[in-house]
Amino acid sequence: MSRQSGAAGPPTGLRQLNANYVALEDRIRLSLTTQDGNEFRFWLTRRYLQLLWQALGRIVTRFAELKAADPLLRSAMAGFAEAQAMNRADLRTPYAGGTTFPLGEDPVLLSRITVGEITAAGTQPLALRPERGAGIDLALNEELAHVITNLLRQAA
């Protein structure tokens, strides 16, 4: 996996996501495993979770805006897209984790979020970064944006 601009580079296809509240830390641990066995672990504070929800909300809205100009129709389409995404998501398979840890085995405390413009491929870039060091770049499609939003909502 190549490193670019302080990031671990785009993961080579997400295999599993996991988010759970850790009471002792009073924060959420977000883990992402890629198809090639890499695992990325992050801490999300309450402040960061609010920022991430706002960013994910903007991303979902952008996808809906591509489908309809009318705000009511956009809202209905976003709700339909969320229901479809959650119906397709496999929430029963236990989180297996990865075998290698490009950012280390300890979770990285995230502090910055960058949302890019929708790409020609129809994905929305989302960069999750700590104050210093490497973070991760994700390319979200509409379905993945909904799944991550719901996963974080359940963990919170």
Per-residue pLDDT of 28-58, as tens digits, reads 999 999 989 999 999 999 999 999 999 998 8
Residue 3's nearest CA partner among 138, 144, 136, 152 is: 136
Residue 6: alpha-carbon gap to chain centroid: 18
Strand partners, 35: none
The CA-to-CA distance between both ends of the chain, in Å, stands at: 31
Question: Across all residues in the chain, what is the average pLDDT?
Answer: 83
Quick one: pLDDT at residue 89?
65
- What angle in degrees, to the nearest 10, is found between the helix axes of 71-88 and 46-67? 110
- Counting Cα atoms < 13 Å in the Cβ hemisphere of 33 gives 14
pTM above 0.85, yes or no: no
